Chain A
Amino acid sequence: MTEHYPVVILMAPLFGALLATLLGRGRQVACWWTALIALGISALFAVGNICAVLASGEGELRYRMGGWHESSGYEVGIELRVDMLAALVVAAVTLVGFVNTIFAKTRVTGEMREKVSFYYALNQLLIVGLCGIVMTNDAFNLYVLIEITSLTSYALIAMGNRRAALSSFNYIIMGTIGASFYLLGVGYLYIKTGTLNIDDIRGVLQSGNLWGHASITIAFILIMLGVWIKMALFPLHGWLPNAYCYAPSAVSSFMAPLMTKVMVYVMLRVMLWLFGSEYVYSSGHVWGELIIWMSIIAIVAGSFLALARTDIKKMLTYLIVAEVGYMVGGAWLVNGAGLAGSMYHIFSDAAMTFCLFLAASIVILRTGDHRLTAFNGLFRRMPLTMIGFTVGALSMIGLPPTCGFFSKWYLISGGIEAGHWAYVAALLFSSLVNAVIFFRIFERAYFGNLKGVADEQFPDDRDSAPPLTLERVPCSMLIPLFLAVMAVLLVGIYNNTLVSWLKAAMPPL
């Protein structure tokens, strides 16, 4: 039974989505229960999957779709491969999906009205896509699943307010270009190697000594470009802020923590497993140094752009752009600490972004204001929500014992080990900017309206105002926030265990 866990993780939300569509628009509560149960099963098996990987001797599980066995050393069918990193990311995806469904309950009825069943169906299919991306060991299957996640997210974002349709259209253009680059790169690899299995491609590249070939280098560049567009690495981030800002609140609180992080996972997968670290990190290429500088620019630019925003959600989305820079930089430092920091930051950033987006959504809905002015005097009015927001914010700044501190710790020690002081400086600078951003908010929340800051300095943007405001924050929103806060703290406290597991999954550098 254990070996079938990955299939259960994928199939539960798939059938849940179909059931939600079949239930139709008359039965909203039934749709919610369907989504909750399906994602609950999925999350349960994802946790079981971690145990299964720990129990297995090789530290990884392989699953052959269709039962096709290899023929003379090559996989003829599609294979799943779940190592510790994949198992943990899948668990993060399904758990965030499950908790977010609790959060979504009261929101979607207001925001989607008759389209609730479509929301639950698309949301579950998005989770199927993300889990599939993480577990697959086939370069083309990865593309098919990227297509699933992209299509569902275009539709989900477009279901938001009036501006959402245009931002979703921007995302479609950018996302399609990114996916095409990825597909083109995979096509080149297939022409040169004759196989699509990730391990087999690496094997052929190694045994045929194809590393010097121009087409392999170009395939790598194309795949990287495609993945960077998808993960919104500065300056390819143009689609992200509007898309996440104007999407329905239940959608952005799920997509902001996970979509970019899963693409970072794909980047690591492509670097370390598809091409292999010997090739990617070899000193013969100019790109290593170049990419670290790109990530430094991303961190600095993302932080500055966030500082300049007066809209809560816009500000948070630019912080995501900066965080993507952290992970890309860490992955290219070419040492264990940097790589571990990059992998660990996938989880810590997912936890703290989830926490901040939930808290921000609640604040915006309760006050009916999406600008930073919404926070005036909030510690007195909404103490519980503000505690949640504070924990997330402190983690963004990087204070112990939150997870943000430990991921910065690993990344900075990686930077020092590599002797890359500019990267270390960029991380510290981003911490400082985050401190300015969030303490500005705390000040408002404690002391109410500050003198000397006129409201006119916060331009109103009517279109992103929520259609409905809440009289009272329901438990179904506070419990998810509480769980997110727990995640931020637990990921931080158990950082040692997590990092040791991640290091075991890492291929030797």
Chain B
Amino acid sequence: MKFFGFIAVVVVGTLLLVATGDFPGWGNPHSPASEGQVSGFYIEQTVNVTKVPNMVTAVLADFRGYDTMFETVVIFIAGIGIIAVLRTFGDTAGKASDYPEPDEGSDIIVRSTCHLMVPLIQLFALYVVAHGHHSPGGGFQGGVMLGASYILLALACGLPVAKRRMGERKAIVLAATGIIIYAGWGVACLFFGGNFLDYASLDPVLPGDKEMARSHSMLVVEIGVAFTVTAIMFAIYSNLATRGRLEKGL
């Protein structure tokens, strides 16, 4: 078996090496991917057509917003799938815990540091979400930070404390709400006569002109992404760490 594996690796490796020899030079400004019509349009026109200085966010949330909506759905599926597979409902009292009883929140240094850090992390996360279309950042990054703040809380003070702030039901509702915001915003465009996710058609209800409507809408969908990512990060962590029992654990 190892021998066949070796053969497969050698063949695929050779293919990849041969293909690499055929590529345009590293960082070549005249390669199709850097100079092509599509990337040329993004580089020259993004600010004009969307009023968003961060080109990456414009590609992610507007030009290819349909992809990003489904990427958010992928994250949602990952969370729901893990809950669906791991979560054990009903009585788990009979089964002894695999882990020693955690002395929850006994360490005052860890607890105090965590209480100091969590608000700061969350504040910065909100900034990253809100400022995503002007500077590096966005819904995915901000959402991960928000989710991490809850995980930090669970690590330092025990899962029950974190669950009081983000219960299981709450996490699922929050995750679904995020996608409803994103996809619902796209459907709203249909009612204003545009195509799906055509933010420009929303300019009657949003302040500013058509281009500003695109910029505002990007903020809205980034917030939707952040909702889903936050909730799913914490749901995945809490289910994996407690083998789906959502009690004690760690």
Most chain A CB atoms below 10 A, which of B36, B62, B67: B67
Stretch touching chain A among B121-129, B149-157, B176-184: B176-184
A144 touches B74 (CB 8 A): yes
- Can you report 13 residue pairs joining A to B where beta carbons are below 8 Å apart? A11-B196, A14-B179, A21-B175, A66-B198, A76-B41, A76-B42, A78-B66, A114-B90, A128-B73, A144-B74, A188-B19, A194-B38, A194-B39
A375 at the interface (CB under 8 A from B): no
Q: Which residues of A contact B63 (CB under 8 A)?
A: 66, 68, 76-78
B200 at the interface (CB under 8 A from A): yes
Instruction: Find residues 126-161 in chain A having any chain B CB closer than 8 Å to their own CB.
Output: 128, 132, 138, 140-141, 144-145, 147-148, 151-152, 154-155, 158-159
Instruction: Find residues 184-203 in chain B having any chain A CB closer than 8 Å to their own CB.
Output: 186-187, 189-190, 194-201
A447, chain B: closest CB distance, angstroms: 43
B120 at the interface (CB under 8 A from A): no
How would residues 1 to 29 of chain A score, 1 for a CB under 8 Å from any chain B CB and 0 otherwise?
00010010001001100100110110000
B37 touches A71 (CB 8 A): yes
B97, chain A: closest CB distance, angstroms: 21
B77 touches A215 (CB 8 A): no
B31 at the interface (CB under 8 A from A): yes
Interface size class of B (residues with CB under 8 A): 35 or more
B37 touches A215 (CB 8 A): no
B248 at the interface (CB under 8 A from A): no
Q: Which residues of A contact B74 (CB under 8 A)?
A: 144, 147-148, 151
B249 at the interface (CB under 8 A from A): no
A214 touches B22 (CB 8 A): yes
Q: Which residues of A contact B85 (CB under 8 A)?
A: 155, 158-159, 165
Q: Which residues of A contact B6 (CB under 8 A)?
A: none
B68, chain A: closest CB distance, angstroms: 9
Contact residue among B41, B67, B84, B190 (Cβ-Cβ distance under 8 Å from A119): B84
B81 at the interface (CB under 8 A from A): yes
B98, chain A: closest CB distance, angstroms: 18
B87 at the interface (CB under 8 A from A): yes
B81 touches A144 (CB 8 A): no
Q: Which residues of B contact A222 (CB under 8 A)?
A: 15
Contact residue among B16, B37, B173 (Cβ-Cβ distance under 8 Å from A195): B37
Q: Which residues of B contact A191 (CB under 8 A)?
A: 23-24, 31-33
Instruction: Find residues 61-91 in chain B having any chain A CB closer than 8 Å to their own CB.
Output: 62-67, 70-71, 73-74, 77-78, 80-85, 87, 89-90
A313, chain B: closest CB distance, angstroms: 21
Question: How far is B176's CA from A141's CA once the two chains are assembled, in angstroms?
Answer: 22
A309 at the interface (CB under 8 A from B): no
A509 at the interface (CB under 8 A from B): no
How would residues 101 to 145 of chain A score, 1 for a CB under 8 Å from any chain B CB and 0 otherwise?
000000000000111001101100100100010000010110011
A495, chain B: closest CB distance, angstroms: 35
A41, chain B: closest CB distance, angstroms: 13
Most chain A CB atoms below 10 A, which of B36, B71, B73, B180: B73
Instruction: Find residues 133-175 in chain B having any chain A CB closer than 8 Å to their own CB.
Output: 169, 172-173, 175
A67 at the interface (CB under 8 A from B): yes
How would residues 74 to 110 of chain A score, 1 for a CB under 8 Å from any chain B CB and 0 otherwise?
1111100000000000000000000000000000000
Contact residue among B38, B84, B199 (Cβ-Cβ distance under 8 Å from A76): B38
B24 touches A11 (CB 8 A): no
Q: Which residues of A contact B42 (CB under 8 A)?
A: 76
Question: How far is B78's CA from A70's CA once the two chains are assembled, in angstroms?
Answer: 34
B5 at the interface (CB under 8 A from A): no
Of all chain A residues, the one with the shortest Cβ separation from B198 is A67
A18 touches B176 (CB 8 A): yes
A215 touches B19 (CB 8 A): yes
